Structure 1
Amino acid sequence: MQQLKFTGFIFFLFILIESLTLPTQLQEVDNFNVTQKFINENTASMTIIAFAQYVQEATFDDMEMLIKDMMKYKDKCLGDKTLPECSKLANNVLQEMMCSMEGLPQKYNFSHCCRKVDFKRRLCFFYNKKANVGFLPPFPTLDPEEKCEAYKNTRDSFLNQYIYEVARRNPFVFAPTLLTVAARFEEVAKTCCEEQQKANCFQEKATPITQYLKAFSSYQKNVCGALMKFGPKVLNSINIAVFSKKFPKIEFRELTSLLKDVSSMYYGCCEGDVLQCIHDQSKVMSHICSKQDSISSKIKECCEKKIPEREDCIINSNKDDRPKNVSLTEAKLTGSEHLCQERDTDPDNFFAKFLYEYSRRHPDLSTSELLRITGVYEDFLGDCCSRETPTDCYRHVEGKFNETTGKSLQIVQQECKHFQNLGEDGLKYHYLIKLTKIAPQLSTEELISLGKEMVTALTTCCTLSDEFACVDDLADLVLGELCGINENRTINPAVDHCCTANFAFRRPCFESLKPDKTYIPPPLSQDLSVFPVDWCQSQNEELQGKKYRFLIQLVRLKLQLADKELLSLLTQFITGVKKCCTAPEPEACFHEKVVIFNFN
């Protein structure tokens, strides 16, 4: 990918060379050099991503000012590499430059971060990121002809603007993902600008890019949220389950070695260290490709691709087949006489190995379910090992696993039943009511977004053969969005408990929630008592959006009402508004037919 370059701008490459541990083995050197070349070709893109994600409110002009300051720094360090400031980590230098820009920290409210140093400052910038980007103006749109003219005449500037706008609206998305999005967008621009029907072409080909970005954004935020709120142990467990399902023939020792690189990658990527993220992801993929024979038979073609296509291909590759010599059950982890001694010798390694063995044998289960089963196993062994005859106790553990999976399966089946019976609109109403009842403090737009994501999860998964894993994993991502990535997010006591108590059991916890009793409803909204004239002119999506917003307001006022009663009130309101839109005196009609429902 060659886009988004500034001539002669090699600051980040220079800093990376100075600040990262240099490789020693020949294979590592090759990988390092390939990664360096990619970074050198895309340094400006990475600068834009880092700046736009850290300071989302900043303008494109601010970014260009930062680049000028960094260019001066680059020239200084090229003149004398021995200067102390020229051996700093790239991310630290970037943040120092942002803090030193006159008026910028005060203008965009990150002065408090600038008073910190090193790790504390980096963490401060991370927590300063805002997932809810409603404060930003709408994404700028151009007429297809204007878009193509801009691409043709000012390609670099046009693509710079695009990645800037995408990055600031997706502050937690990993840099490699954004670079892939930018590359795909340029391919769309190249193709569609040659077409007669440019608008249709852009609409058709841009949709998969948006879906790709949303999917990766949701997953990356969920995993980073787990790391930030629950620590490295949970991050490691997620990755053990994911890699064991995808690469079931990998040996545990090899997996443990691979996960060291993976964990390092997540620390850099979650923190927002753009260069470290790219470098570490490349290292992970090179590790995988160097051990293809012992890891997977499905990635040969992927490993022949260049950065970042290689990474993207491996991530999206099919699961490998379960080795023939791997049985469905692992007796030594459920029936051995020495389980308690093995557990006590090294508990973390013992349960990590159990998760690995169970995951590679059950790729049909969701990642969340595999973590739940490991939690059940840990608790069950804790009870059994305190008894006089532990073996008599833990030989029944398979029954506990089946019971746990049965409960999760029941939730999924119920959700897919809703999908079959309610239709798409009915399903959206169902989840808007459900989400508003448990988290009425969330903004209306956020509730609508979460409801749509839940509906998308069900419409995507409920017709698939791996329905259970698909629904459970995607629904868990929706809950990850709700809980947020930052540790300081709070909604209400019950929701906060589900978000922070136990990552694996977050979904069952949410399923048990009742309407929030701590919530104090707002005063009667004008939308409920004043004739909504604009409803009469609205059609299709706009009208549907008004219905969603009205329903959320209604639920907030009447949290204790049953779902059927709330939907009945919504139907009566909409019917009344429709009649009054054609009446000679709409407002009088509205007060007669609608306000009589007494929403107070």
Structure 2
Amino acid sequence: KWATLICLFILSITTESRHLQKRHHEEHPRIINDIVKAVGKPAVEKLVLVMVAQDFEKCSLDEHLKVQAKIIEAVDNCEKHPEEAECKKPAIELYHDIVCKEEDIDQLYPWTTECCGKAEAERTKCFYEHREVRVEEYKIPNIEESCKEHKEHPQRAFSYYLSNIAKRHSKLYPPAVLGFAIQYNEITTECCAAEDKAKCFGERMPQVKKLTNYLEDKHKQKCRVLKEFPERVSQALTLVQVSQRFGNAKYDDVEKVTIEIAHLNEDCCKGDAVECMIERMEATEHICLAKEKLSSKLSDCCAKGVLERTPCILALPNEEPDLPIELKEYYEDEHVCENYQKDKRKYLAHFTHDYSRSHQESSPQSCLRVSRGFEMLLEKCCASANSAECLKDAPKLLEAALKENEEISKQNCGALEKLGFNDFYIQLLVRYFGKMPQVTAQTLVELTGRMAKIGVYCCGLPDNKKQPCAEEKLDILLGEMCEREKKTFINDNVHHCCVDSYANRRPCFTKLGPYANYEAPVWDESKLHFTADMCKGSADDQLKTKLVLLVEFLKMKPTCGKEKLTEVIESFRKTVVECCAAENQQACFDEKKGGLHEIIKDH
């Protein structure tokens, strides 16, 4: 189904290694007629609307459709007159030429003055970088009106879905936006026919919104890593993920797929939606041509239409190798150092491939940490007088990585089960306050709240899925935090974890101890707001309000100790329960806060 296009970004995430050579390629700009031939005119019309809405999020649907119509007029002309100079330009250049001529565009979007004056490669990058604009969260409009519009004007209703999803997810791959719009359309059709329309929409829409956010977050993180770390980082994790996806494929076949995907990731993160889309389809075509060598599970997906193949392939589970993979040849063979010295990158890439596909229970980042550790061991041992004796440490290194992953999962999932969500959340909050006390209370509560929810989700999975799940989601979360850290410095320890090593970023944060040089502000009771607001909103909102208060206390009393902290939390809990049950909540808090201040200040 077309709705499966929502999976389009699952494959491409990134990490760190030195194992793959850069792919040298020639540029092959796509003209508009190439795109029409590849995906068909109806799809081009929809994808153009997505691009317009992503670039110009302030405009109304009618304004988006007006610009779309001008671009489609140019598309029609090029189909009839392909020899014209305009039609020989790269499709993305033709698109920008048209939107840059829009009347008053520079008034609504002043940044276009700068972008439109640049040469095309820089112009594409400039447009893409200005897409990061906050738009209010989408709210379901009046249900009866929506259902009437959906029934009477289905084409306009679909354009509305495309436009609204696109401008709220400005960096999501356009065919993925199209896939989500198709799913919204299907949900609307079903829910408008349901007996309880509101309940139907209330149950179905949040699921789609959650997945939309997740896929865009993955894409942003992939692009962050490409921007912030050496190119080999992206190439190496792609090798790991392709190796895990096609567990029975040989290295040479996996390498070809890896190089192609790593290259298209670069183009997708430069903002050229047209080139990104075509390269993805080409990569899928090449995978299908090699399906006999890659995986027995590819046949059904490769029989589908061109736009349906990619999401189908990405939805396939990782394939376990049919036969056990022996890693001993990488450290017990008498020619290990000779082979390693001949071509270090190739040797390590082969090891990474075999290790990754034989350890599906490990996250790609964990596989790359093992690979980096093995590289360091090879460097040390191959420079020693007795390399064979030195390499006997290899099995310990490999086993230690698996043990560490298992222990971290058991520790966190065990704490969650024992403490329950709220106390697990508080534990994370206190721990991360120690690591980064300079962060605002609201930001710290939000950060650790997301961590706690990651724990709930991933700890509910089978044991072999817990570690990859948690590390993937924490990777995105820490990536967002480190991006903000570039603009708002936190402390030297946090900065080090953000920039030192992508693959080791999560372990670096996990191992961080309390920041030793924090200077607490003077005690100020006015920062502790005991108000009836703590009883308002959802349970999640109430908890966050209380935890913001806890962080404000910690900022002023960072060395209060575990016993004192427990006393403060319990006293605070009792007061909140009592006052939220009172007839006059604020009067209750006013009466109790004096006693609370004394308990809190007494340290």
TM over 0.5: yes
Please state how far the C-alpha of 1:533 moved relative to its aligned partner.
Answer: 3.3
Please state how far the C-alpha of 1:505 moved relative to its aligned partner.
Answer: 0.9
User: Which digits, 9 at most, give the CA deviation of each residue in 1:140-171, with x for residues without a partner?
Assistant: 32132222122122323333333333233333
Give the Cα–Cα distance (whole angstroms) in 1 for the partners of residues 401 and 209 of structure 2: 35
Q: Which residue of 2 aligns with 1:266?
A: 265
Q: Which runs of no fewer than 5 residues in structure 2 stay unpaired? A: 4-27
Q: Which residue of 1 aligns with 2:463?
A: 465
Q: Which residue of 2 aligns with 1:430?
A: 427
- Asked if the contact 2:242–2:257 (Cα under 8 Å) also holds between the matched residues in 1, the reply is no
Secondary structure of the 1:401 match is helix
Give the Cα–Cα distance (whole angstroms) in 2 for the partners of residues 240 and 141 of structure 1: 41
Secondary structure of the 1:395 match is helix
Secondary structure of the 2:194 match is coil
Please state how far the C-alpha of 1:375 moved relative to its aligned partner.
Answer: 0.5
User: Which digits, 9 at most, give the CA deviation of each residue in 1:160-208, with x for residues without a partner?
Assistant: 3333332333333323322221221111111111111112212222343
Give the Cα–Cα distance (whole angstroms) in 2 for the partners of residues 317 and 419 of structure 1: 31
Give the Cα–Cα distance (whole angstroms) in 2 for the partners of residues 117 and 491 of structure 1: 37
- Asked if the contact 2:437–2:518 (Cα under 8 Å) also holds between the matched residues in 1, the reply is yes
Query: Over aligned residue pairs, what C-alpha RMSD do you find?
Result: 3.5
Q: 1:288 to 1:76 in 2, by over 3 A?
A: closer
Q: Which residue of 2 aligns with 1:94?
A: 95
1:174 maps to 2:173: yes
Give the Cα–Cα distance (whole angstroms) in 2 for the partners of residues 192 and 218 of structure 1: 28
Give the Cα–Cα distance (whole angstroms) in 1 for the partners of residues 507 and 452 of structure 2: 18
- Equivalence map 1:558-569=2 (5 Å): 558-561=557-560, 565-566=564-565, 568-569=567-568
1:402 maps to 2:412: no
Q: 1:184 to 1:82 in 2, by over 3 A?
A: same
- Equivalence map 1:439-450=2 (5 Å): 439=436, 447-450=444-447
- Equivalence map 1:188-267=2 (5 Å): 188-267=187-266
- Asked if the contact 1:351–1:378 (Cα under 8 Å) also holds between the matched residues in 2, the reply is yes
Q: Which residue of 2 aligns with 1:299?
A: 298
Instruction: After superposing the two structures, state which structure 1 stretch, 535-544 or 269-278, moved more.
Output: 535-544
- Equivalence map 1:404-553=2 (5 Å): 404-439=401-436, 447-463=444-460, 464-466=462-464, 467-484=466-483, 491-516=490-515, 528-538=527-537, 540-553=539-552
Please state how far the C-alpha of 1:596 moved relative to its aligned partner.
Answer: 3.4
Give the Cα–Cα distance (whole angstroms) in 2 for the partners of residues 589 and 319 of structure 1: 60
Give the Cα–Cα distance (whole angstroms) in 1 for the partners of residues 413 and 565 of structure 2: 22
Give the Cα–Cα distance (whole angstroms) in 1 for the partners of residues 308 and 131 of structure 2: 28
User: Which digits, 9 at most, give the CA deviation of each residue in 1:439-471, with x for residues without a partner?
Assistant: 456666654554343233322322413133333
Q: In structure 2, give the amino acid aligned to 1:124.
A: C
Q: Which residue of 2 aligns with 1:355?
A: 352
Q: Which residue of 1 aligns with 2:11?
A: none
- Asked if the contact 2:70–2:98 (Cα under 8 Å) also holds between the matched residues in 1, the reply is yes
Q: In structure 2, give the amino acid aligned to 1:201.
A: C
Give the Cα–Cα distance (whole angstroms) in 2 for the partners of residues 67 and 486 of structure 1: 38
Please state how far the C-alpha of 1:310 moved relative to its aligned partner.
Answer: 2.7
Instruction: After superposing the two structures, state which structure 1 stretch, 354-363 or 71-80, moved more.
Output: 71-80
Q: 1:446 to 1:83 in 2, by over 3 A?
A: farther
- Asked if the contact 2:54–2:131 (Cα under 8 Å) also holds between the matched residues in 1, the reply is yes
- Asked if the contact 1:521–1:557 (Cα under 8 Å) also holds between the matched residues in 2, the reply is yes
Q: 1:399 to 1:513 in 2, by over 3 A?
A: same
Give the Cα–Cα distance (whole angstroms) in 2 for the partners of residues 376 and 307 of structure 1: 41
Instruction: After superposing the two structures, state which structure 1 stretch, 497-506 or 548-557, moved more.
Output: 548-557
Give the Cα–Cα distance (whole angstroms) in 1 for the partners of residues 484 and 347 of structure 2: 29
1:393 maps to 2:390: yes
Q: Which residue of 2 aligns with 1:11?
A: none
Q: Which runs of no fewer than 5 residues in structure 1 stay unpaired? A: 4-17, 24-31
Please state how far the C-alpha of 1:282 moved relative to its aligned partner.
Answer: 1.7
Please state how far the C-alpha of 1:124 moved relative to its aligned partner.
Answer: 3.4
The TM-score normalised by the length of structure 2 is 0.83
- Asked if the contact 1:408–1:508 (Cα under 8 Å) also holds between the matched residues in 2, the reply is no
Give the Cα–Cα distance (whole angstroms) in 2 for the partners of residues 93 and 489 of structure 1: 38
- Equivalence map 1:22-101=2 (5 Å): 36=37, 38-60=39-61, 62-71=63-72, 73-74=74-75, 81-101=82-102
Please state how far the C-alpha of 1:524 moved relative to its aligned partner.
Answer: 7.9
Give the Cα–Cα distance (whole angstroms) in 2 for the partners of residues 308 and 437 of structure 1: 49
Q: Which residue of 1 aligns with 2:124?
A: 122
Q: 1:530 to 1:402 in 2, by over 3 A?
A: closer
How many corresponding residue pairs?
Answer: 572
Instruction: After superposing the two structures, state which structure 1 stretch, 421-430 or 241-250, moved more.
Output: 421-430
- Asked if the contact 2:30–2:91 (Cα under 8 Å) also holds between the matched residues in 1, the reply is no
Secondary structure of the 1:253 match is helix
- Asked if the contact 1:2–1:41 (Cα under 8 Å) also holds between the matched residues in 2, the reply is no
The TM-score normalised by the length of structure 1 is 0.84
Give the Cα–Cα distance (whole angstroms) in 2 for the partners of residues 124 and 562 of structure 1: 50
Give the Cα–Cα distance (whole angstroms) in 2 for the partners of residues 157 and 182 of structure 1: 12
Q: 1:61 to 1:240 in 2, by over 3 A?
A: same
- Asked if the contact 1:531–1:586 (Cα under 8 Å) also holds between the matched residues in 2, the reply is no
